[in-house]
Amino acid sequence: QNSAAVFRKTRVEDFITSLKVNVLSNLTNEKKTVHFLKLSAPWDVLVYYAEELSLRAPLQAQPTPDFNTSARVLKRLCIPNIMAESVPNRPLDYYTCAFRRSKMNRFLGCDNHETYFTNTQRHRIVFEILARTLYGKRKRAEVGVARLLNEGAYTAAFPLHEGPFQLPEYEVCPDELNQRQVLFHYWARWSKWYKYQPLDHIREYFGEKIALYFAWLGFYTAWLLPAAVVGTLVFVAGVIKEICESGDSYLMCPLCNTCQTWNMSDICPMAKIGYLFDHPGTVVFSVFMSFWAVTFLEYWKRKMATLAHHWDCMDFHEEEERPRPEFAAMAPAMEQNPVTGVKEPYFPEKARLSRMLTGSMVIVIMLCVVMIFLVTVIMYRGIISVMMFHTGSPVLRTQVHHIQYVFIGICWRKSKFQQFHAVITDKFFSPCMHRTQTEYEDAFTFKVFIFQFVNFYSSPFYVAFFKGRFVGYPTNYGTLFGMRNEDCGSGGCLIELAEQLFIIMVGKQLISNVQEFIIPKVKAWRQKRAMDKVRGGKASHEPRRWEEDYQLVQCEGLFEEYLEMVLQFGFITIFVAAFPLAPLFALLNNWVEVRLDAHKFVCEYRRPVAERVQNIGVWFNILEALSHMSVIANAFLIAFTSDFLPRLLYQYKFDYDLRGYVNFTLAYAPVNYTASHNRRQIWASFRDDNGNYTLIYWELLAVRLGFIIAFEHVVFFVLRAIDWMVPDIPESLELKIKRERYLAKQALAENQEALLVSRGRGATPGICGLTRRHKLTTPHTMPSLKVI
């Protein structure tokens, strides 16, 4: 342990020597020492890295646009808009171009060195220096503060918040509030749940990456409203009586080898509930949700392009994003960038593929483990079913499958297996293979999501498309490892699928929200307790900003936030035919989620480093894949799991009022099976007395296959039409882009006179904090951070 501490101390001193910073303050006692270091960049450093990072410089102010479509519609209709609210200190909007030191006099506000660069720009520059600083051997990728954090040399590295988020006790003008107080008062409070989000303020304080997440979450939540209304109307239609009036007329075959026979009238309550999910309205709603998903994504592309241009990151990925420090350190060769023409570090294709193949094998192994867990759960459910049938309780006998799903469903959803997989993927994943941070995050997200998709969707897919398909028939039941294959419950597979979705959309989301509310508070309490121990319970002064921020919770990124919402999107689109209320519960959850996440970022998280992004990354591709998968899944769900087509065929061939439909769906058990049980028994199938499929079965199979083909072709044709009719970039935005390019060309011309009048932009200097546990020997008189 002592040698490890000395090794970390040496690395810290090498890192500090490269940075040349001042020790800000120390908190010490006999057992532990915490050092805080303040990093600041002088004007020359800011200018150098502003050009290096291609930061955007203001050319000309323009009116701030209104991106809320609902606000414009309500204004045209002269309807008061209770969602709108005036938020103070809204950032100005500018036409911009890439920063150039030689053209400083052409940019607005260049004379004021204190306010020209915003806080987030200063944070980004300082963190870029920290990420590039070499403290060991370059070939071992001993570069950057991130690796020092992983090794335990430092405990945290974070920008400082602007100040307290609590409003002052005395009355103050709204324009005098700091940025954090503005976000808390006008956004993060629960009483603002129905107000528009101040996206420009979020972007100015947290950066484009976090602002784009909240923009997507708000846009998605707003689009859930029509889906929730239509789904609720579909749900309240229909009730069935024939099963409830059958009495003892239908004696059903046992559902397991050692179970007893049961009467169909025993499942009357579940039959009534099942018809709420399975009637002709669900088919219409499935088509509606397919159109809804694609239309939502098309309009989000327009919204995303508008925000990317408004926030000056429209061409960030292709032209401005720099290689990751780990990639630059490990790359064995240099190659010219085909876009910028600048030579950059490069990995040969052969080395890239070999390392990526290793990471992919880890994913395959983990997927196999998930499938083993699924088979184990299926066998466990079979054993529990037999035990519950033997209790003799009428409730347990008829509701056994539903009771299992409530218990097993919650345990499966809340298992820690998915967190374990994320850690394994991160360990075996090759971060040095991806040139930019965006490419790395997209690749990592895709790999982890594949596992999460199988983990979360395997059970619903099994119930929807496989359960009850391989049961066989009396005297010839199918088996798995000596156990009879699992059959659908007494109410059918569709009601079981609806129950699973209910558990996910209500139980899991409720538990997740409670955890998100409690866990950050517990972590912050533990962090504050640790700091109090360092102080010894006797603070010599009021806690300073860096000490208060150190007591907050480390922000772990947006992966978990996106994952939760994208999985939710899949559940409300892929299985919507089984549970029309899914959009309603998603809407209620997201209203809470927006304010819960806002409160965490403003009040409970350390301030994350602002990151520039052009879009939501690979998450959009995943959403598109889920929307297309939903069309196929709903077609098969309606055709093979729902009773819609059997009812339709019976109405066409026999009786439009469905009199005798239940008897139509039943078959008598074979004679030898009936003789052994002393009474003629029936079961749900289209078979004759010998167990062979009847002509009705083949007719129904043809109808089902024809429905799938017709459903997919019609829906996909309309989806392509919607994609063609809705342009990805609005026409008004294309005009703004052309105007901006013209101004940039004029401003950067060598012999062109100054087009713009200098104008200051209000902002405060940025600070970034580091904390570590080892005593430093760096002199206090060393200069501030210099160009490296």
pLDDT tens-digit readout, 164-208: 988 888 788 888 889 999 999 999 998 888 899 999 999 999 999
Instruction: Give the pLDDT confidence score for residue 575 in this predicted structure.
Output: 87
Residue 778 lies in a domain: no
179 against 443, higher pLDDT = 179
pLDDT higher than threshold 60 for residue 777: no
CB of 508 closer than 8 Å to CB of 584: no
Pairing state between β 33-39 and 483-484 = unpaired
Residue 509 CA, distance from chain mean position: 13
150 against 214, higher pLDDT = 214
At 749, the pLDDT band (50, 70, 90 cuts) reads low
Q: For the chain, what percent of residues have pLDDT higher than 70?
A: 67
Instruction: Give the pLDDT confidence score for residue 638 in this predicted structure.
Output: 86
**Which region among 22-31, 152-161, 618-627, 717-726 has the lowest average model confidence (pLDDT)?**
22-31
At 677, the pLDDT band (50, 70, 90 cuts) reads low
Indicate the residue among 691, 709, 725 that finishes a domain: 725
Pairing state between β 93-98 and 56-62 = antiparallel
Helix and strand numbers, DSSP H then E, in the chain = 26, 16
Mean per-residue pLDDT, 532-555: 76
At 761, the pLDDT band (50, 70, 90 cuts) reads very low
Residue 190 lies in a domain: no
364 against 678, higher pLDDT = 364
pLDDT higher than threshold 50 for residue 757: no
- For the chain, give percent helix, strand, coil, nearest 5: 60, 10, 35
pLDDT single digits (tens) 692-736: 788 888 888 999 999 999 988 988 898 888 888 888 787 777 887
Residue 166 lies in a domain: no
Instruction: Give the pLDDT confidence score for residue 780 in this predicted structure.
Output: 34
Do 767 and 715 lie in a common domain? Answer: no
The pair of three-digit structure tokens given for residue 602, joined into one six-digit string: 């403003």
At 607, the pLDDT band (50, 70, 90 cuts) reads very high
pLDDT higher than threshold 80 for residue 505: yes
498 against 397, higher pLDDT = 498
**Which region among 253-267, 499-513, 614-628 has the lowest average model confidence (pLDDT)?**
253-267
pLDDT higher than threshold 80 for residue 276: no
Do 613 and 590 lie in a common domain? Answer: yes
> 397: how many CB neighbours lie within 10 A of its CB?
19
Which secondary structure element, helix H or strand E, spans residue 4, and what is its range?
helix 2-19
Q: For the chain, what percent of residues have pLDDT higher than 90?
A: 14
Among the ranges 128-132, 738-742, 743-747, which has the highest mean pLDDT value?
A: 128-132
The pair of three-digit structure tokens given for residue 649, joined into one six-digit string: 């065929």
Do 721 and 766 lie in a common domain? Answer: no
Question: Coil, helix or strand for 556?
Answer: coil
**Which region among 560-569, 600-609, 671-680, 713-722 has the lowest average model confidence (pLDDT)?**
671-680
- What φ, ψ does residue 292 adopt, rounded to 5°? -60, -45
The pair of three-digit structure tokens given for residue 470, joined into one six-digit string: 């391989």
255 against 231, higher pLDDT = 231
112 against 63, higher pLDDT = 112
> 137: how many CB neighbours lie within 10 A of its CB?
10
pLDDT higher than threshold 60 for residue 277: yes
**Which region among 174-183, 252-261, 492-501 has the lowest average model confidence (pLDDT)?**
252-261
Instruction: Give the pLDDT confidence score for residue 82 in this predicted structure.
Output: 87
pLDDT higher than threshold 50 for residue 752: no
33 against 786, higher pLDDT = 33
- Give the chain's mean pLDDT: 75
Do 265 and 304 lie in a common domain? Answer: yes
Do 367 and 476 lie in a common domain? Answer: yes
pLDDT higher than threshold 80 for residue 627: yes
Residue 779 lies in a domain: no
At 530, the pLDDT band (50, 70, 90 cuts) reads confident
Mean per-residue pLDDT, 379-402: 57
The Cα–Cα gap between 132 and 140 comes to 14
The Cα–Cα gap between 415 and 761 comes to 49
Structurally, the chain folds into a number of domains equal to 2
At 562, the pLDDT band (50, 70, 90 cuts) reads very high
Mean per-residue pLDDT, 757-785: 39
Among the ranges 49-58, 226-235, 465-474, 759-768, which has the highest mean pLDDT value?
A: 226-235
The Cα–Cα gap between 51 and 44 comes to 11
Do 759 and 657 lie in a common domain? Answer: no
The pair of three-digit structure tokens given for residue 78, joined into one six-digit string: 């002269």
pLDDT higher than threshold 90 for residue 219: yes
383 against 412, higher pLDDT = 383
**Which region among 112-126, 150-164, 656-670 has the lowest average model confidence (pLDDT)?**
656-670
678 against 450, higher pLDDT = 450
pLDDT higher than threshold 60 for residue 536: yes
Axis-axis angle for helices 437-465, 559-574 (nearest 10) = 30
At 107, the pLDDT band (50, 70, 90 cuts) reads confident
351 against 185, higher pLDDT = 185
Instruction: Give the pLDDT confidence score for residue 526 in this predicted structure.
Output: 86
Instruction: Give the pLDDT confidence score for residue 243 in this predicted structure.
Output: 47
**Which region among 303-317, 338-352, 542-556, 634-648 has the lowest average model confidence (pLDDT)?**
338-352
CB of 489 closer than 8 Å to CB of 400: yes
CA atoms 103, 108, 111, 114: torsion sign: negative
Among the ranges 73-87, 256-270, 402-416, 429-443, which has the highest mean pLDDT value?
A: 73-87
Instruction: Give the pLDDT confidence score for residue 545 in this predicted structure.
Output: 84
Instruction: Give the pLDDT confidence score for residue 624 in this predicted structure.
Output: 92
Residue 167 lies in a domain: no
Mean per-residue pLDDT, 372-400: 61
Residue 682 lies in a domain: yes
At 782, the pLDDT band (50, 70, 90 cuts) reads very low
pLDDT higher than threshold 70 for residue 539: no
257 against 587, higher pLDDT = 587
Residue 186 lies in a domain: no
The Cα–Cα gap between 5 and 149 comes to 14
At 39, the pLDDT band (50, 70, 90 cuts) reads confident
Instruction: Give the pLDDT confidence score for residue 240 in this predicted structure.
Output: 46
The Cα–Cα gap between 475 and 94 comes to 78
pLDDT higher than threshold 80 for residue 481: no
- Per the listing, tokens 């709603």 go with 285
Nearest Cα to Cα of residue 131 among 352, 332, 327: 327
Range of the domain at 12: 2-159+732-772
Instruction: Give the pLDDT confidence score for residue 296 in this predicted structure.
Output: 93
Do 717 and 736 lie in a common domain? Answer: no
Mean per-residue pLDDT, 544-572: 89
265 against 686, higher pLDDT = 686
Do 209 and 81 lie in a common domain? Answer: no
744 against 621, higher pLDDT = 621
Do 122 and 146 lie in a common domain? Answer: yes
Mean per-residue pLDDT, 103-129: 86
Instruction: Give the pLDDT confidence score for residue 8 in this predicted structure.
Output: 62
The Cα–Cα gap between 704 and 636 comes to 8
Do 696 and 759 lie in a common domain? Answer: no
CB of 277 closer than 8 Å to CB of 502: no
Do 74 and 133 lie in a common domain? Answer: yes
Do 269 and 312 lie in a common domain? Answer: yes
Residue 437 lies in a domain: no
